[in-house]
Structure 1
């Protein structure tokens, strides 16, 4: 059982008294590892700073050993002041007779007297009572819960709840900092909301519930923590919505404020009665609104989201004794920043940091020690799991692996490495999800169902009901669906998957109606189940299109169904309307969305009639004809812009054609050999070792640690994007941020475009995507290095360049030719394709022009091993790869990394495109 950590502040002259307090704490049940006591005569002022920077940041309370020496010590006084400023509860105890006056800032706290034997018995009793009153006591948090003694110690993808606080390991330091922040806000800071940011898989929900809320619920003098709000698709009226948390059926800001005021008064009265406190002297507690997965408030199918935001913001503004704490994915925080309802609410951000190996070890071994009897874990098992999770930063995935291992264990008293690596039982981290799916389907397979048929049925359970793509740059997200929208056969599969904890079934509200709901248990499943990844990629364009229709239809309905809110026409409208005959649209398109598409079609017919009328009026008379012609041109201009993608008609690849593309095959989704779009090369799926080994003296730490990466099949530009391709986008109005700054032969035709910033490259990718209807984008950093190395096996020998380790040459006929700084004649980039391609058929990955990729520079070691981009919410520096004509030979290696602000343009910077297949 874990204990809160206690810091003992004392003067070295009182070491004996401090030791006496420490020994008493141990005799009362606190573990030695939870007590910080410095007896080494380190500078006391530094002692507290070290504690905060290291283990003692976890402390939840400070015992101050008052003596004449303590009072005279600036360092000891500073320790105490620092503790109070950080919101730490403080417990002054007198350890020797005082002749000096106690500082005024301590006199508002009750003292315990330990200065003589007679007084110490009462003094220790008083100290313990004070610690218990602040819930800094050894009996917190018990496991298993008394209400559920059979509760499993590993919870899988389900978030740990308040009753699981006893088994929430790995986040002690973050919990202490989070509670310090909440106490500071409760004590009058300007901020009214703590926003917990973290990547998917960081364990934000468990941190909120088992970490912060569990501790706020025991600090009844300061907090009244409401049940956490989970917005889902009904942020107000759902069983986990705002009204349920407030204990009311519905209402306004005033109704919420009144309910909160009543809660506060009742909690205050209970506390004072139990502790014998004077209600007039005891400040009232703060109401805490907790919002788990706040990004769901902004989903288009959460029609109650905007009103919930307004109510939360309104009650925070109206009630100074009301606070909020929320979790949100880092990549979604921009929505909070842009929400007009929250403009006036000051927020404090709290980053939930990446977990290290020691934290994973604690999460593996800690819960096992609390089972009755304790569960033995082989040290080799812990080492192997920590190794397998390196770079993944996924606490829920670890919990799922441990839950599966716990359920499948052959030795009821131990978790073993043999069970973990046995492919018929678990199959390691990679096999955990796949194995759970297999178990869910076992019964149906035994009845004769073919595995491929079952997977196809699963595909149309997850798509589109349980998955959404907010926009082209976002990762897939979970979606809540009604269970009764599935067929009986599908419902059986859903329940089988729920039994394996891959799906979650519960009570909820969908489209304003109570319903039994189903959702994917955790977003890690979207990232780690390869079959689901393939299904999503196969339907990516339809899912994105569906999202645009849902968003546009909501805006159209909210603004009185006016033509000003019609956003679909031409090819985009045709594709949107075709969704109705596709499984994706047949399930998801609502009556409002169908009516919106009909309105779009009607508006398009009206525009066509107007154009036809303008054409017919041309021959009437010279004066009238000219006026009619001018009107025709204005209308025609808008019409042609909307129809610009027609020139790509007939060149787009169908889904069937894409599925038949072979590695090494080239294609263009525009007229052959034209500058309307890049030439693309199909790359195979494969695995490789990304980064540089320790043996490469040319490498720096930015290229380490080396790690295995697996990539799916995709296409990549055969060449860097050229000036003629860029100008095509400029002339079509798709790339307006930047045209070109110079004129010379090097800035035309088949030379690579440069002076391009990261946003320019995104504009071009978005424009090509609109023209072709396909998903064009920047390469991820892992995809770029895979393309440069041109190997598909992890076992492949490491080489600095795609051709080997030999220094590059300036000779275009050499198999190791590249344009770099040694090639001074001419100085500058060469036409794309001047040098021999690599084994994948790609040109100029070494030198010529630096190429932007999607990733942020700062989190190389945190990137997933599936080839996806590593990004943060506020990315200040993006990665560039490949070096340029101005780089030395070490800086054009396959693993070399550059970094620049995304808005930086320079004569050595350009880009290359990828296409999702």
Structure 2
């Protein structure tokens, strides 16, 4: 549409020139084709102007976002706690309007041909990168009149190609994960076939397709070198082969240097950076979701919470504190200074909850393996603890008792029998676990290395040696 408008604009300039030339230079000695053009130039100018106006109106209609209607499912807390916001939480996601506009602008450039279509969203742990993409960007794209085909977000995990295939299979009609995996073995051509089928199913053969890779750092912490290279190569080649493919990936800033050493540093050019929230945005994060839920705060409480929220893990801790306060007070209630302090404030809410869960477990059985179980969710990268997913079937009955309690306490999450920490802040903010990680550094590092070697050996066809 933009190209058509540019052509019409050039045509309008030519017609205006012709009309002006013959208006100031009247002569009858003109070849009949030029005379015909002279006689019709003014009506044609009017027609072209009308087409330009209509085209601009249509472009505005396509690009204009739908007026935002914030809705919230009252059966859920308006604060997600340690978990990332999802698209279902868009109605209570506040504080990142500027970043959302920036991302939407990146994905809708005025000159698409020269756009860098791998958009890396980079920020420190706890800055809200996943929430920005899931609850900010994706709903914003969905509100635009122009059609976007969006595959479900996925984290690479230990087998990124399987995760990629699972994401596509979830939206491709009558297609299994195994069938998509077979297509992916054909490289960029196989990805293009999958995406073209997806476009056809969604009614837009030329529609842009968006892939969302959440927690890209898992390629460095959970994925073996062979699988990491295969996945990044496939993404890079697919972007080159399909001009309507876009990828948005979130990446922890402390893993950027390592990612630049993978051979695919060019992917992270022109990143969108996510920093800490300012005071104004923190007030929005606290007060706006509360308005949706009919929750109120006593005078001075919100300002105290903002003062208590600094950098580092403070944002996820604030979100967890707000969730716990809502669960205690309820919709229509009022949070007082006493409620806030009794919970432990921003700094202590998570630790107090972990302490209570542990005390309850050990009241039943003093030998409950709390810390040893939680260490199964930790992997080390450059000495820093990061998340590691655990299959429920790999746990003993005693360990499952621990994980069930922490899932109930919203410090772990469970999805299709796969368990994960709700946020890595648990590793750093709960003193007993932080100390256990420090004491087990060598053991955790050896386990991480063995798991990567095992993955590479498995992918290599279980050869006796890996070269």
Deviation sequence 1:702-758 (CA, Å, 0-9, x none): xxxxxxxxxxxxxxxxxxxxxxxxxxxxxxxxxxxxxxxxxxxxxxxxxxxxxxxxx
Secondary structure in structure 2 of the residue aligned to 1:328: strand
Q: Give the number of the structure whose residues are more often helix, by fraction.
A: 2
- Structure-1 separation of matches of 2:236 and 2:308: 43
Return the offset for 1:200: 0.2
What residue number does 2:129 align with?
Answer: 204
TM-score by length of 2: 0.78
Q: Which has the higher contact order (CA 8 A, sep 6+)?
A: 2
> 1:496 aligned to 2:419?
no
What residue number does 1:312 align with?
Answer: 235
State the number of aligned residues.
409
CA 1:201 to 1:137, structure 2 compared with 1: closer, same or farther past 3 Å? Answer: same
Deviation sequence 1:92-113 (CA, Å, 0-9, x none): xxxxxxxxx99x999745389x
Secondary structure in structure 2 of the residue aligned to 1:188: helix
CA 1:359 to 1:393, structure 2 compared with 1: closer, same or farther past 3 Å? Answer: farther
The structure with more radius of gyration: 1
TM alignment of 1:183-582, pairs within 5 A: 183-184=108-109, 187-238=112-163, 241-244=166-169, 247=172, 248=175, 249=177, 250=181, 251-252=183-184, 253-269=188-204, 284-301=206-223, 304-340=227-263, 342=264, 345=267, 347-371=269-293, 374-392=294-312, 394-409=314-329, 412-422=332-342, 426-441=343-358, 443-447=360-364, 449-450=365-366, 453-454=367-368, 457-463=369-375, 465-472=376-383, 475-507=384-416, 516-551=417-452, 558=460, 560-562=463-465
What residue number does 1:136 align with?
Answer: 65
Q: Is the 8 A contact 1:502 1:520 kept in 2?
A: yes
Return the offset for 1:331: 1.3
Deviation sequence 1:538-558 (CA, Å, 0-9, x none): 111222233344445656774
Deviation sequence 1:390-439 (CA, Å, 0-9, x none): 234643222111001111227852222210101xxx11122211222244
- Structure-2 separation of matches of 1:415 and 1:239: 43
- Structure-1 separation of matches of 2:256 and 2:111: 23
- Structure-1 separation of matches of 2:161 and 2:388: 17
Secondary structure in structure 1 of the residue aligned to 2:162: coil
Deviation sequence 1:852-892 (CA, Å, 0-9, x none): xxxxxxxxxxxxxxxxxxxxxxxxxxxxxxxxxxxxxxxxx
Deviation sequence 1:13-70 (CA, Å, 0-9, x none): xxxxxxxxxxxxxxxxxxxxxxxxxxxxxxxxxxxxxxxxxxxxxxxxxxxxxxxxxx
- Structure-2 separation of matches of 1:393 and 1:305: 28
CA 1:287 to 1:555, structure 2 compared with 1: closer, same or farther past 3 Å? Answer: closer
CA 1:285 to 1:411, structure 2 compared with 1: closer, same or farther past 3 Å? Answer: closer
What residue number does 1:122 align with?
Answer: none
Deviation sequence 1:893-915 (CA, Å, 0-9, x none): xxxxxxxxxxxxxxxxxxxxxxx
Return the offset for 1:351: 0.6
- Structure-2 separation of matches of 1:225 and 1:411: 34
Secondary structure in structure 2 of the residue aligned to 1:228: coil
- Structure-2 separation of matches of 1:296 and 1:312: 16
Give RMSD over aligned pairs.
3.2
- Structure-2 separation of matches of 1:256 and 1:350: 26
Secondary structure in structure 1 of the residue aligned to 2:76: coil
CA 1:345 to 1:246, structure 2 compared with 1: closer, same or farther past 3 Å? Answer: farther
TM alignment of 1:817-836, pairs within 5 A: none
Q: Is the 8 A contact 1:242 1:308 kept in 2?
A: no
TM alignment of 1:136-155, pairs within 5 A: 136-138=65-67, 140-144=68-72, 148-155=73-80
TM-score by length of 1: 0.41
Return the offset for 1:188: 2.5
- Structure-1 separation of matches of 2:410 and 2:262: 34
- Structure-1 separation of matches of 2:377 and 2:190: 34
Q: Is the 8 A contact 1:316 1:345 kept in 2?
A: no
- Structure-2 separation of matches of 1:191 and 1:442: 52
Q: Is the 8 A contact 2:94 2:284 kept in 1?
A: yes
Deviation sequence 1:554-582 (CA, Å, 0-9, x none): 5677495449x6xxxxxxxxxxxxxxxxx
CA 1:336 to 1:105, structure 2 compared with 1: closer, same or farther past 3 Å? Answer: farther
What residue number does 1:17 align with?
Answer: none
Q: Is the 8 A contact 2:77 2:327 kept in 1?
A: no
- Structure-1 separation of matches of 2:244 and 2:199: 9
Deviation sequence 1:445-504 (CA, Å, 0-9, x none): 554x44xx44xx1111022x21011234xx210001111111112101101100111011
Secondary structure in structure 1 of the residue aligned to 2:277: coil
Gaps in structure 2 of 5+ consecutive residues: 1-44
Return the offset for 1:379: 3.5
CA 1:537 to 1:376, structure 2 compared with 1: closer, same or farther past 3 Å? Answer: same
Deviation sequence 1:500-544 (CA, Å, 0-9, x none): 11011112xxxxxxxx21111111212211111100001112222
Q: Is the 8 A contact 1:355 1:393 kept in 2?
A: no
Q: Is the 8 A contact 2:208 2:245 kept in 1?
A: yes
TM alignment of 1:808-847, pairs within 5 A: none
What residue number does 1:751 align with?
Answer: none
Deviation sequence 1:134-187 (CA, Å, 0-9, x none): 46343x23311xxx4422211111111112112111111111111111112882
- Structure-2 separation of matches of 1:289 and 1:299: 21
Gaps in structure 1 of 5+ consecutive residues: 1-100, 113-126, 270-282, 508-515, 566-917
CA 1:292 to 1:338, structure 2 compared with 1: closer, same or farther past 3 Å? Answer: same
- Structure-1 separation of matches of 2:288 and 2:245: 35
